[in-house]
Amino acid sequence: MVKEFSLGIGLAIVIFLAVQGINLFPFVFLGGIGYYFFKTIGKEELGNKFLITGGNDDQSNVPQVDFADIGGQETAKNELLEALEFVKSKEEIKKLGIRPLKGLLLSGPPGTGKTLMAKAAANYIESVFISTSGSEFIEMYAGVGAKRVRKIFKEARDKAKKAEKNNAIIFIDEIDILGGKRGQNGSHMEYDQTLNQLLVELDGISVDDQVNILVIGATNRIDILDNALLRPGRFDRIVKVDLPDKEGREHILEIHTKNKPLVADVSLEQLAKETFRFSGAQLENLTNEAAIMAMREEAEEIEMKHFKEAIDKVMMGEKLNRRPNEEELKRVAYHETGHALLGEVVNPNSVSNITITSRGKALGYVRHNPEDDFYLQTVDYLKDQIAVLIAGSLVEEEILGNRSTGAANDFKKAMELAKKIVFSGMSKLGVVSKDTVPQKLLYDTMSEIIAEQEERVTAEILPNQEFIAEVVEDLLVQESISGEEFRARLKTEQEVVA
C-alpha cells in the first residue's frame, strides 16, 4: 500500500513540474544514476549477506545428516572419518606436534554424495556448517570475490563463537570455478585475486585458533585446479568419491527403499546388477520414479516391473509420443534384435531388456548388464563391444538388404573403441604414440579391426535369420521383450539346430 501511495505522489510531482515548464531531464538523469547504483552496489552488499547466512541462520546449524545415511562410499567415508579425528582431538594433536588439517577435497562424478559427506562431516564433529558455491565468489567487479572470501571465513568464526562451538566447516561446492589454474582467464584478474585470497586464508589457519576452521571443497574437475591449492598445507587430503560398485549400489537402494512398500519378490541385488555405473543420485531418483509409477497404477506396493521401467526412464528419458511408421518400426526391431543376439553371444546372460519404444533420442534400445563390475578392459572385451555395436546395422543389411542412418552413433562408438585398441598398444602396430602415428596408418588399422568384427558378426547372423525374424514379429506386437524370454527362445533355437 505504501509503495503504491509513494508511486502516486511521485507521478503527481512529475506532472506538476512538467506543467510548470521545468526541464525534467537533469532529475531523470540523476535519478537513473541513483537507481543504477542502488541496484548494483546495494544488491552486491545484499548478495554478500546472503552468501554467508543463506537468508537465515539455519544454514549454519549442524546438518542432521549422518554417515549411516550415505551408502556405497565406504572407502571415502573411512578416509574422511580418519581426517576428521584430527579435528576432533585438538589437544592430542597439539601434544604430538601435528598441524591441523586445513582443507579436504572431495573429488568425483556428479551425484556421488560429495555434499552429503560434507554435511555428515559437520554433524560428526558438531561444527557450524556454512555452504556456498565457487560461482558465488566470482563477479565482474574487481576485489568483490576476495572480499567475499575474507567475509565467509570471518562469519564462520563469528557463528561458531555465537553457537559456542569449537569447529566450523566451510563447504565450497564446484570449487573448480574458484580454484582454477591462475593465468587462464586472460585479462580478467578477478579469478586470480579471489583464489589468492583463499590461499591466504588457508595459510592463516593455526592449531592455536580459538575456532578450528576446516574447508571442504567438492569438484568433478580436479584436473583444472591450481597446483597451489592442492599442495599439502592447504588441501591436505583428496578424497575420491567415485561411482558405487554393485555392493554399494545395493546398499544405496536399501537406504532409499526403507520408507517404500515393496512387493516381496523385489530383488535389490538384481536391481544393483542392472544399474551399472549409476550414481547415488540416480539410484535415489530410480526408487522415486518406481514409486511414482506404482502410484499411477494405484498399486499399494512397488513391484519389480515398476523398478525396471524406472531404470529405462532414468537412463533414456520418458517415453515419447512419436511412433515410426510400420516399415521404420520393423527396421528398428531388426536392428535391436541384432544387438541383443550378439550381446548374448559375447556375454551370455547380459541382455536385460529389448524394446522398440522411443525414449529420448533413441527409437529403440537394448539394455545390457555386465555380470560383475570391471575396471580393466582387455582387447577381447573391446572387440566384443565393437561386434555388439555393429550387429544392428549388419542385421539390417543381411536381412533387409541395406543399412540406415540409425546406426550412426553405433559406428561412432565402434571407431572410438578401435582407436582405444590402437593407442593402448593392443593392435598389430604395437605401442604407438598419438602424436607420431600417420593418420592413414591409423585409419587403415582401425578399419581392419572393424572389418574383422563384421565378418564375425555376419557369421552369427546368417544361421539365425529365422530366429531373428520370429523375435522381430513378437517385438512388433509386444514392443518389449525381457532378457529372460529372449534367452529362453535363443536356447530353444540352438537346441533345434543341434
Across the strands, what pairs with 235? 103
**Residue whose grid cell is 565406504:** 74
CB count within 10 Å of CB 465 equals: 12
Q: How many angstroms separate the CA atoms of 167 and 207, rounded? A: 12
| 222 and 105 Cβ atoms separated by less than 8 Å | yes
- DSSP codes of every residue in 222-238: GGGB-HHHHSTTTEEEE
pLDDT digits (tens, 9 = 90+) for 176-187: 888 887 766 654
| 450 and 419 Cβ atoms separated by less than 8 Å | no
Query: Taking the alpha carbons of 461, 466, 469, 475 in that order, is the dihedral positive or negative?
Result: negative
User: Which cell numbers hold the place of 419?
Assistant: 582407436
For residue 56, what pLDDT is reported?
38
For residue 17, what pLDDT is reported?
61
For residue 284, what pLDDT is reported?
93
Across the strands, what pairs with 173? 133
Across the strands, what pairs with 362? 359
| 190 and 145 Cβ atoms separated by less than 8 Å | yes
pLDDT digits (tens, 9 = 90+) for 225-273: 888 888 888 888 899 999 998 889 999 999 999 999 999 989 999 899 8
Q: How many angstroms separate the CA atoms of 311 and 253, rounded? A: 13
User: What does the pLDDT average to over 306-318?
Assistant: 87
SS3 174: coil
Q: How many angstroms separate the CA atoms of 51 and 457, rounded? A: 59
pLDDT digits (tens, 9 = 90+) for 401-435: 999 988 899 999 999 999 999 999 999 999 999 88
For residue 30, what pLDDT is reported?
63
Q: Among residues 305, 221, 281, which one has the least CA distance to residue 482?
A: 305
Report the catalytic residues. Answer: 336
- Per-residue pLDDT at 167 exceeds 80: yes
pLDDT digits (tens, 9 = 90+) for 124-141: 888 889 988 888 877 655
Question: Helices H, strands E: what count in the chain?
Answer: 20, 8
Confidence class for position 94, pLDDT limits 50, 70, 90: confident
Q: How many angstroms separate the CA atoms of 472 and 333, rounded? A: 5
Alpha carbon dihedral 176, 177, 178, 179, in 10-degree steps, equals 30
The percent of residues in the chain predicted with pLDDT above 70, rounded, is 83
Across the strands, what pairs with 167? 212
Between the alpha carbon of residue 262 and those of residues 88, 184, 275, 282, 303, the distances in Å are: 41, 52, 18, 19, 6
| 304 and 266 Cβ atoms separated by less than 8 Å | yes
